Each structure stands twice: as structure tokens, then as C-alpha cells.
Amino acid sequence: MGILVGIVNKAICIVFVCALVNARMQEVTTIEKYEDIDVHLSSFIKKDDSIAILLDYDGTLAPLASHPSLTVMEAESRDALKKLSTQPNVFLAVISGRAVDDVKAKVPFDNLTYAGNHGLEILYPNGSRFQYEVSAELKSNFTKMVEELEEKVGKRGGWVENKLASLSYHYRGVPEELHQELSADARKIIQSFGYVDSQAHLAIEAKPPVHWNKGEAALLILKDKFGSDWATHVKAVFAGDDTTDEDAMKALKGKGMTFRVSASPQIKTYADYRVPSTKTVSYLLQWFVHHQL
């Protein structure tokens, strides 16, 4: 009887934990119009507040393209970021899956902090860098993993984006009937070298098995800039479009305001709100320009 009670109690605990997770990651209100953005941000941010704006790049500041090199930032977002980068009460950071120097080249403004490789590397405005160190074994495995991926799934339009600390296997250019096969093969290869695979937009990400992600990077960036008590005197806003951005949304839950960029109204997210496109992100940035300058 005691064993049966234990099993029942364990099952109840599992159901309870699942319920808590689902309560956190759920469908959220969609904000699409500038007027709606105004209503929600005005209730959160006042005229003289210090503001930290943290943004993903691909799919957030720039629409996704057939190749990472072809992405172009929304013109309105570019103009808004350029203006905001000169304001003393506004702090800007871009947290991307790209290599850090790559994302800086895509968003080339002064006074920005850049995080690349999902936060494994951070470049500060003064030129100093943070690098999350992984073991020698993982570094050696990374090189072997890149070689095997290129050999076995780097075909029929598939290719490996080597970002030195992490990588993306892109299969957007692969015939659709081969998507499932090649992406599954890529996952197996990634796992065989001890790396963690995750789904992106028609790509598989490979990251080292460490407790570090965009959420940890966002918290470190905010702490470095504003101190460990940053949440008491800074209004933080984050926007991102992918599963890796959920780590930042989860980390900032209850401490800032976050937005998930997704065209699907059924998207489940840790974010506070959903916005349907990069165009709406540009409205978000324009709001800051109009109300803070």
C-alpha cells in the first residue's frame, strides 16, 4: 500500500509541475498596432525612467532571409536604434545566435552591447569581451562535429554556419522532402559529440552543454551595466522570435516587459506579449523615440 501511495503522490507531483510550467508558458495577448503598443508601454515606462532595450536580431530586427548574409534590418528600426543609441537614459543590447562580430556588423551603432553565440560571447562598448569558456574536450569535439556535419548533411542545399562557439545547420535550401531526414541526421551527429541541439527557423542549432544561454547573458549584461539591483531602477524590455529567446523571456519574467515575435496567435511563450512581425518591433522602437527623446 505504501508503494502505491508513493506512486500516486509522485504522479500528482508530476502533474502539478507540468501545470506550473504550462501556466508560465502560455498563449498571450497579441499587440499589433502602434496604439496598442502605446497603451501597454505607457503603463510600464514613464518619461524619466532609465530604459534597457535588449533585442534579438534575425526575425526580430530583420526579417528572416534565405541566407544569413542577406538579412537587412527594417529601415524604421535602423533609424530608431541610431537615435536611441545617443540617449543617456537608454541602454541598448543585441543578443543573437550569430557570432558577436557578425551581429555587430549587422547593427553598427555606437554605445551598443552585443552578445553572440546565444550569449556565450559578449562585446561591450569599450571593446572588452566576455567569453564563456568550455572544456578542451568540447572544443576538440566542436571541430570534429563541424567536419562530420559538412560531410554527411552539408549537401542538397544544406550547410553549416560555423560560429566557433556554436553552429547552425541550415536546411532552408534543401528540397522539402529531405527536411526531416537531414535535420534528424544533423541532430544525431550533434548529440554524438556531446552538444545540445535545438530547433530554429529551418535550422538546427548546436550549443555546448553548459548552463548558459540568452537569459543568463541578459542578466549578466544588465548587472554589469546597472548593478545587481538593476530591476529596482531600470525598466528592461526584450524582444525575440525564436525558441532560444525564450530563455531571456523566462529570465526577465516579472522583472521587465518581453515580446515574442511570431505570426502564430497560438504560440506558447514566456513573453508578456506577442507581436506578429519585425514591422511591429519597429513600431515598438519608434514608440521609444517618440516618448523618450
Which of the four pLDDT bands, split at 50, 70 and 90, describes residue 16?
A: very low
Backbone dihedral angles phi then psi of residue 236, each to the nearest 5 degrees: -100, 140
Cα(230)–Cα(219) distance, integer angstroms: 9
Q: For residue 167, list its beta bridge partners.
A: 162, 206
Q: Which of 5-9, 50-54, 68-72, 93-97 has the lowest mean pLDDT?
A: 5-9
Question: Average pLDDT for residues 102-106, to the nearest whole number?
Answer: 98
Per-residue pLDDT averaged across 53-79, rounded?
97
| Lookup result for grid cell 562530420 | 148
Average pLDDT over residues 215-236: 98
Contact 54, 93 (CB under 8 A): yes
DSSP state of 271: S
| pLDDT band, very low/low/confident/very high, at 7 (cuts 50, 70, 90) | very low
What gap in Å lies between CA 167 and CA 283, rounded to an integer? 31
The whole-number average pLDDT for the span 215-237 is: 98
pLDDT over 50 at 8, yes or no: no
> Which pLDDT band, with edges at 50, 70 and 90, does 11 fall under?
very low
Q: For residue 90, what pLDDT is reported? A: 97
Q: How confident is the model at residue 36 (pLDDT cuts 50, 70, 90)?
A: very high
